[in-house]
Amino acid sequence: MAGGKIQKKRHGAAGGAGGGGARLQGGIPFEKSKGQHILKNPALVDSIVAKAGLKPTDTVLEIGPGTGNLTKRLLEAGVKAVVAVELDPRMVLELNRRFQGHPLSSRLKVIQGDVLKCDLPYFDICVANIPYQISSPLTFKLLSHRPIFRCAVIMFQREFAMRLVAQPGDTLYCRLSVNVQLLSRVSHLLKVGRNNFRPPPKVDSSVVRIEPRKPLPPVSFKEWDGLVRICFNRKNKTLGSLFKQKRVLELLEKNYKTMQSLQLTQDADMGEEKMSADDVALLANMVEDLNMETGDEKEDDEMEMDDGDMAGDGAGSFKEKIMGILQQGDFAEKRGSKLSQVDFLYLLSLFNKAGIHFS
């Protein structure tokens, strides 16, 4: 089930399959606060299933099956099994009633629970129309799942979907874009108007295909996200300006001294550490930072450190070290909003080789 913004519960009048009513066939009210917006357009459901590229050997994970419109099409597509995870016990009962005695019911397993909290079973592909309020944590939970699945075809709120596929220089290009694209290939499949749902949400939607990268990039995610976080702190400021901030310099110098005390010099292999599932799973706990702002974050009291501010305490030489790294890669005048995956990887390698780390 897709969902718009979280709203207070409101029990609307019963409606038919083609109307905008807010009740199930059995008279159970939808709860918009849980993102309960059911796909009512059969042609759209068929299109989503067709674009998923299902195989007879596939186990399909469906999240938020609702009344089972998409579930039915998945089963009819001839897959090996469909595992549906549903939070609402009323919907679980509705699913069980709908598929009781169905010739393909033996291929359906319904799990009642919170998809963000439960352990996901093995699956080859995920096809889902999700509650939009769980978009970020669910995306990164899927990307941290092992073994790696083939792809996910998911309905998202339009703006969130556009952030996932945004490219350097796009208005919506942000930390979310960079992190998801590091871990996967993302493509936009379909635009979906709000009237394709019952009841209709307040926003339009899009279907996106996510294909995890195999193998994962040879980089520590803690290092990667630490760098990207700084670069997108004010995404339209130059990196030279961002890395002159007192807070940033103090953090990097503290890390540098810690590494030196542990005898992890520039020849250490931290920069070559491969990303692990646990590394990726850290993202699920960081999603509150991956906000929906289109511009720079709210200004704070951060100040750039001038040479005079650091005289006599060695900080000036460390600042020169940082600026030298940026100039070496021709990054000092560039902005995070314009950098590609290759740019970020190169910049991180320059810092790591100089003994500068972000975690």
Spans of all domains in the chain: 32-212, 219-262+315-358
Residue 19 pLDDT: 35
> Mean pLDDT, to the nearest integer, of 108-134?
95
Residue 200 pLDDT: 86
Question: How many percent of the chain have pLDDT more than 90?
Answer: 65
Pick the more confident residue, 34 or 7: 34
Residue 266 pLDDT: 43
Name which of 33-37, 106-110, 247-251, 269-273 the model is least confident about. 269-273
pTM of the model: 0.81
Q: Cα-Cα-Cα-Cα dihedral of 310, 316, 318, 320, to 10°?
A: 140
Name which of 85-89, 162-166, 259-263 the model is least confident about. 259-263
| Six token digits for residue 44 | 């759209």
The pLDDT tens digits of the residues spanning 34-78 come to: 556 788 899 999 999 999 999 999 999 999 998 899 999 999 999
Rounded to an integer, what distance in angstroms lies between the CA atom of residue 16 and that of residue 237? 53
> What's the maximum distance between 2 C-alpha atoms anywhere in the chain?
81
Residue 27 pLDDT: 55
Residue 178 pLDDT: 96
Pick the more confident residue, 176 or 359: 176
Residue 99 pLDDT: 96
Say if 32-212 and 219-262+315-358 have the same CATH topology.
Answer: no
Backbone angles phi, psi at 123, to 5 degrees: -155, 155
240 is in an annotated binding site: no
114 is in an annotated binding site: yes
Contact assessment for residue 48 and residue 127, using Cβ atoms and an 8 Å cutoff: yes
Residue 148 pLDDT: 95
Residue 283 pLDDT: 54
> Mean pLDDT, to the nearest integer, of 105-133?
95
Which of the following CATH numbers is that of domain 32-212: 3.40.50.150, 3.40.640.10, 1.10.240.10, 1.10.10.10? 3.40.50.150
Rounded to an integer, what distance in angstroms lies between the CA atom of residue 223 and that of residue 95? 44
Name which of 12-21, 28-37, 45-54, 130-139 the model is least confident about. 12-21
64 is in an annotated binding site: yes
309 is in an annotated binding site: no
Pick the more confident residue, 171 or 30: 171
| Six token digits for residue 213 | 């990268």
Residue 38 pLDDT: 80
Domain spanning 219-262+315-358: which CATH class is it, in words?
Answer: mainly alpha
pLDDT for 273 beyond 70: no
DSSP 217: P
CA-wise closest residue to 207 among 153, 151, 142, 149: 153
DSSP 323: H
Select, from the ranges 82-91, 193-202, 218-227, 264-273, the one with the highest average predicted confidence (pLDDT).
82-91
Beta-bridge partners for 2: 37
The pLDDT tens digits of the residues spanning 209-230 come to: 999 999 888 888 889 999 999 9
39 is in an annotated binding site: yes
The pLDDT tens digits of the residues spanning 288-336 come to: 444 444 444 444 445 555 544 444 455 679 999 999 999 999 999 999 9
Residue 114 pLDDT: 96
| Six token digits for residue 359 | 């975690």
Mean pLDDT (the chain, rounded): 83
Pick the more confident residue, 187 or 296: 187
Residue 1 pLDDT: 57
